[in-house]
Amino acid sequence: MIKFFRRRNKRILFSLRFSILFIFVMLFVITTIVIAVVRSIAFSDELTYTSFSLMQKIANIVSREVDVEVRPVELAGRFSANLLEGDVLKNDTTQLVPYIYNMISITKSVPSAYWGNEQGDFIYLQRHPDGTISTEIILRHLKPMLHTLIYRDIQGRIVKQETLPATTYDPRKRPWYLKAKQWRESIWTDIYTFYPDRRYYSEHEKGISIATPAYFKGGKLMGVFGIDLSLAYLTQFITHQKVSQHGYAFIITKKGNLIAYPMPPLAKKHSPIISQPLIYRSLSFYNEYHLKQFSLTYKNETYLINYKPIFRFAEQDWIIGIIAPKSDFVGFLQQINFVTLLISIIALLLSIVIVSRLSTRVVKPIDYLVRETEKIRQFKLEGSINVPSRIKEVVVLRNAIISMRRGLRQFQRYVPKLLVRQLIESGEDIRIGGVRKQLVVLFSDIENFTTIAEKMDPTELMEQICEYFEVLTQVILSQKGTIDKYIGDSIMAFWGAPLPEESPCEYAALAALQCQEKIAGLNDKWAQLGKPKFVTRIGIHKGEAIVGNIGSLERVNYTAVGDTINISSRLESINKVYQTHILVSDTVYQEIKGRFVLRMIDRVVVKGRTGALSIYELLGDDFAHIPFDVKAYQSEFAQGFTAYTNNQWRDAMLHFQRCFTIYPKDKVAPLFIKRCKQKLNIK
């Protein structure tokens, strides 16, 4: 269709609406396909959610089963300790051996149980793989120690009894005994190696124990009753938990010690599981991000992973882990998705080709014009606009922007473009009215400008004053100031509006110093050309002012008014009295005294105010660049000024004379000396 229009007439302009509608139809078709794909993905997510729910239920079942198996063992330990404390069960072999024998016989999950007391006696019974139960007795309270081993058959009859040599085994030194003694209540031990000496455990077999202390009525420890739980039993239990076709459950600690695992024994079964990368990675992810359910990609296979802490062993940091390939749950859906995705990709590729060609014709010129309008918003009016397009609306818009840019180029000669940018950034509406703000106001003025103007040619004067204004304006703008207006040979600028500044006084002080530096350079250049120098005086004050748009409906000026502006102007003119160049008020001094070099000048009553105002001269920003000892000068001046205010004219004059000695070129100290002499009627 595009080729048809091209052949018909190259001058035909298409409407923007037609182009957008055409693209919209194409995008609608693609969107329909995308929705179908999204629905399929959503279904996959739903299956994943269901899979996680199933895994969570399995984890809950495992947790409950562990609790079901462990709870009776825990109760049996507490019950046995209570019997001993109540003297129902005697602390001797005649009662303890039959009692423990019966416990092991009826509790299949308990492979062994035992009793150790504070005398070092130890009674231990263990079930063997063939179902028989052996008894080991160590009686340390007898001298010499008695160490006996008793074997029984499946019916419980004694078939063999032998006396063994003294053993080094001492229950009081075992982890289960020490921890129970410390906590004074039933405790589960951490995983530890069972003592192998005549205990019928494998050399490095590990497990956990429930240990319950028993006490005499006076609170003294009688001993500890313990029941072992072999990790081999937990492994058998976890093996029967079916997750999915390829999924499995396991019990592990946060530190990476594998407790129960349904697969064949690992090479290092109870050491950190560096030989099981998938489990290790999932455990690391769980420990780092504390996510109980998440997916993990391993060897190009996505696995669903679920972790759940075992409440019963929270102190030991036991957790149940379940890992299953995602394909076990969503495998059939992936086949359907593959076919659907293949069709969608083909349709998408065709659509991209069509839409890209159309979007190039429509979007590119619009994007270009948008960038140009953004430049105009920032008052960047340089350059030209060249947007070739056959869309009517784009051509009309381009011509309008060209006309607007041309008009603004003329307009910006009358309005500061930086001020317009600031007003736009601040979000203030352009309407009559103002707001009260804290402003720092700077006034500058050229000394004896009227006399200079009378002697110069008007054209030369305008060229020189424009060069002067250009230099000062650039300095003020570089220090984030706003030029309010040019009043004859004066400049009024302020900081704090339309956008607030963090350190407006510092910016104003830097601007004043840099202005004087630039003016000195200009004056040197003008002197070589035979032109007059522009000696400039500056006044700076901080205070509240009304700032906003002032004027009429026909013409508006963004400016500031109020007492703060008047004081700044007065400070500028007071420079004439003290023959200084930069005077600041006390409000400015308090803000910048730690950053700049200043000296006190006087306390004056400014026209329009009743109270006296402390004024200071801004000398620079580095003591090293000041031609006299400022600190010594300030010390003498402060004493002299205090005496002066107390009418102690002779003392004041003495200090001011010392100031003049410190700074022979000073104009302020001689002024105060003259005042003191007038008070003393000294000529």
Q: Per-residue pLDDT tens for 332-375?
A: 666 666 676 677 677 666 766 666 666 666 677 777 777 777 77
Confidence at residue 374, expressed as pLDDT on a 0 to 100 scale: 73
Q: How far is CA 7 from each of CA 11, 22, 663, rounded to the nearest angstrom?
A: 10, 20, 90
35: burial class by Cβ within 10 Å (0-12, 13-18, 19+)?
exposed
End-of-domain residue from the set 569, 588, 622 = 622
Tokens of 505: 């006084």
- Read off the pLDDT of each residue in 403-410 and give the average, rounded to a whole number: 73
Statement to judge: residues 20 and 129 lie in one domain:
yes
End-of-domain residue from the set 325, 358, 386 = 325
Asked, for residue 503, whether it belongs to a domain, the answer is yes
Statement to judge: residues 597 and 636 lie in one domain:
no
End-of-domain residue from the set 605, 622, 639 = 622
pLDDT at 652 over 50: yes
Statement to judge: residues 618 and 635 lie in one domain:
no
AA identity, residue 189: T
Domain tally for the chain?
Answer: 3
Statement to judge: residues 147 and 213 lie in one domain:
yes
State which of 278-292, 415-429, 577-591 shows the largest mean pLDDT.
Answer: 577-591
Statement to judge: residues 285 and 198 lie in one domain:
yes
Statement to judge: residues 73 and 154 lie in one domain:
yes
Asked, for residue 373, whether it belongs to a domain, the answer is no
Statement to judge: residues 549 and 650 lie in one domain:
no
Distance of CA 152 to the CA centre of its chain: 69
Q: How confident is the model at residue 191 (pLDDT cuts 50, 70, 90)?
A: confident
The more confidently predicted of residues 204 and 482 is 482
pLDDT at 255 over 60: yes
C-alpha torsion sign, points 113, 115, 116, 121? negative
Confidence at residue 499, expressed as pLDDT on a 0 to 100 scale: 81
CATH at residue 114:
3.30.450.20
pLDDT at 8 over 70: no
Longest dimension (CA), the chain: 137
668: burial class by Cβ within 10 Å (0-12, 13-18, 19+)?
buried
Statement to judge: residues 575 and 675 lie in one domain:
no
Which residues span the domain enclosing 265?
Answer: 12-325
Statement to judge: residues 585 and 666 lie in one domain:
no
The more confidently predicted of residues 310 and 17 is 310
Asked, for residue 214, whether it belongs to a domain, the answer is yes
- Mean pLDDT score of the chain: 83
Nearest CA-CA partner of 451 in 572, 522, 535? 535
pLDDT at 571 over 90: yes
Statement to judge: residues 45 and 135 lie in one domain:
yes
Asked, for residue 533, whether it belongs to a domain, the answer is yes
- Asked whether 206 and 226 are in contact (CB, 8 A), the reply is no
Asked, for residue 361, whether it belongs to a domain, the answer is no
Statement to judge: residues 33 and 133 lie in one domain:
yes
Asked, for residue 121, whether it belongs to a domain, the answer is yes
- Asked whether 23 and 31 are in contact (CB, 8 A), the reply is no
Asked, for residue 431, whether it belongs to a domain, the answer is yes
Asked, for residue 334, whether it belongs to a domain, the answer is no
pLDDT at 198 over 50: no
Statement to judge: residues 611 and 638 lie in one domain:
no
The more confidently predicted of residues 89 and 443 is 443
